[in-house]
Amino acid sequence: SSVEVDSSGEAHAYEETHTYEEEEEMAELRPVAVVIKNPRSSWIDYYWQNPESNELLYQGKIDPRGTSATSSYAGHVFVFAPAKKGPEKEFARVHVTEEKNLYILPLEEDNSNENDIKYYQQLLEEQRFVEDYRKRTGRPTHHVSSNEYFWKCIPENSQDPSAIEKCRDTQPVSFALEALSTEPKVFRINNGRLKKKKKGEKNLFFKKKQALSDFEADLVISLAKPKIKRSLAGTHGGLVSNTRTSRNTWLDRNEHLVMETLYRRAADILNISESVLYPDKNVEQLQVVNYQVGQEYTSHHDFGADGHPQQRMITLLFYLNNQTAPDAGGETAFPKAKNGYLKVHAGKGNAVLFYSMLEDGNADDLSLHAALPVKKGEKWIGMLFFFFYFTKR
Ligand SMILES: O=C(O)CCC(=O)C(=O)O
Ligand SMILES: [Fe+2]
DSSP 62-89: E-TT-EEEEEEETT-EEEEEETTS-GGG
Name the residue of 241, 298, 317, 336 whose CB sits within 8 Å of the most ligand 1 atoms, as the mutation to test its pocket. 317
Tens digit of each residue's pLDDT (9 = 90 or more) over 298-349: 888 888 765 554 567 788 889 999 999 989 999 988 887 655 677 788 888 8
Question: Does 107 sit in the ligand 1 pocket, CB within 6 Å?
Answer: no
**Ligand 1: nearest atom to the Cα of 244:** 9
Spell out, as residue ranges, where the chain has pLDDT lower than 50.
Answer: 1-17, 145-159, 164, 167-205, 234-241, 309, 390-393
pLDDT score recorded for residue 70 = 80
Query: What pLDDT, on the 0 to 100 scale, is given for residue 369?
Result: 87
Is the beta carbon of 374 within 6 A of some atom in ligand 1? Answer: no
Sequence-distant contacts of 119-124: CB under 8 A, at least 24 apart? 119/39, 119/65, 120/39, 123/37, 123/39
Q: Does any ligand 1 atom lie closer than 6 A to the CB of residue 381?
A: yes
Give the pLDDT of residue 245. Answer: 72
Backbone angles phi, psi at 61, to 5 degrees: -115, 160
Query: Which pLDDT does position 243 carry in this prediction?
Result: 63
Q: Which long-range contacts (CB under 8 A, 24 or more apart) does 305-309 make?
A: 305/35, 305/67, 305/68, 305/69, 305/142, 305/143, 305/235, 306/67, 306/143, 307/142, 307/143, 307/144, 307/145, 307/363, 307/392, 308/392, 309/389, 309/390, 309/391, 309/392
**Nearest CA, atom 4, ligand 1:** 371
Q: How far is the CA of 86 from the centre of ligand 2 (A)?
A: 32
The pLDDT of residue 24 is 52
In this structure, the residue with its CA closest to atom 2 of ligand 1 is 371
Q: How far is the CA of 286 from the centre of ligand 1 (A)?
A: 12
pLDDT in tens, 43-53: 999 999 988 89
At 117 the pLDDT is 96
**Protein residue closest via CA to atom 1 of ligand 1:** 371
Q: Where are the beta strands (DSSP E) in 214-272?
A: 229-230, 232-233, 239-240, 247-251
Percent of the chain with pLDDT over 90: 30
Whether the CB of 332 sits within 6 Å of ligand 1: yes
CA of 332 to the centre of ligand 1 (A): 7
- Cα separation of 287 and 386, whole Å? 12
Q: Cα of 245 to ligand 2 centre, how many Å?
A: 13
- Looking at residue 352, its amino acid is V
- Going from the N-terminus, what domains does the chain have, and what CATH number goes with each? 11-21+151-389 (2.60.120.620), 32-97+102-137 (2.60.40)
> In angstroms, what is the span from residue 107 Cα to ligand 2's centroid?
32
